Amino acid sequence: MRVGSELIALHCIVRREVVRILRLWLQTLVPPAVSTALYFAIFGKLIGDRIGSVEGGASYLHFITPGLVMMCVITSSYGTASSSFFFVRFNRAVEEMLASPMRNRTILLGYVVGALVRSLLVGAIVVAIALALAPSLPLAHPWIAGLSVLLAATIFSLLGFINALYAKTLDDIGHVTHFVLTPLAYLGGVFYPISLLKTPWQQIAQVNPLAHMIGAFRYGVLGTGAPGVGVSIAVMLVLTLGLSALALFLLSRGVGTRT
């Protein structure tokens, strides 16, 4: 398949995903914004005013903003990739893609990019809400902040795609969100500094990939909170490459698509 044909195939997949996201905006964009606005109002303002400043002298509202943004980006990217490709499998539309000259890498990239679009839109909405409540929100290291968000969204888009290959029902997708992603996000330092944890929980948190993602993004926004930001970026890069290789391997073996 020539490069031009691959780009056309990629554009078709991404365009279909983006159109679906925008057409169902009441389901894809509004719920994360509403739930996050409640988090900001309750934790950031009501409770945050009583807490005062936290790690690095930042206000509590500023401190939780990167964590809430990252949590929304992670859940949105995972949910989009997993549900979208699952329904393609369920409706047997995947057979048309497999029968075409489209390469596996084009299929994977199309669904990952589609999930990235939704997660970045949700992240932008959450940032807009945060800026409305705290206009003085800083951006200490824009490149680190942007890179950490892109890597985190890519990682969970790949995880969502892989889960969609194995999922038998829609409940299999929801179980991962409820029993894996949400607990890891809360234990990853969304609402508190990891340094507050006692031994051995602080050491356990160091192997939580979401703690690295949240810590790196918080460092990019606030300039504090991640003394090992280089390690965090390296962890995310390794996960991105490893999950990409795994997803392509599963597609080549026909897992969930030919069985």
State which of 3-7, 39-43, 118-122, 167-171 shows the largest mean pLDDT: 118-122
Q: CA 116: distance to chain centroid?
A: 8
CA distances from 135 to 44, 77, 138, 171, 197 (A): 13, 27, 9, 40, 30
Instruction: For residue 226, name the pLDDT band (cuts at 50, 70, 90).
Output: low
Contacts of 236 (CB under 8 A, 6+ apart): 148, 151, 152, 155, 209, 212, 213, 216
CB 70 within 8 A of CB 213: yes
The model's confidence at residue 189, banded by pLDDT at 50, 70 and 90, is confident
DSSP classification of residue 93:
T
187 compared with 49, residue with greater pLDDT:
187
> What confidence tier does 159 reach under pLDDT thresholds 50, 70, 90?
very high
The average pLDDT across 196-223 equals: 85
What is the pLDDT at residue 57? 72
Q: How confident is the model at residue 227 (pLDDT cuts 50, 70, 90)?
A: low
Helix (H) or strand (E) holding 181: none
- What average pLDDT does the chain have? 87
Identify the pLDDT of residue 225.
63
Q: What average pLDDT does this structure show over 128-156?
A: 90
Does residue 101 or residue 88 have the better pLDDT?
A: 88
Q: Among 257, 259, 205, which residue's Cα sits nearest to residue 232?
A: 205
Q: Determine the pLDDT at residue 1.
A: 58
Prior bond of 209 cis (ω within 30°): no
What per-residue confidence (pLDDT) applies to 43? 79
Per-residue pLDDT averaged across 28-43, rounded? 86
**Does residue 96 surpass a pLDDT of 90?**
no
What confidence tens digit (pLDDT) does each residue in 43-73 have?
777 777 777 777 767 788 888 899 999 999 9
More confident residue, 117 or 201: 117
Domain positions in the chain are: 3-253
> What does the pLDDT read at residue 70?
92
Q: What mean pLDDT is predicted for residues 224-243?
A: 87
Distance CA(119)–CA(131), nearest Å, equals 18
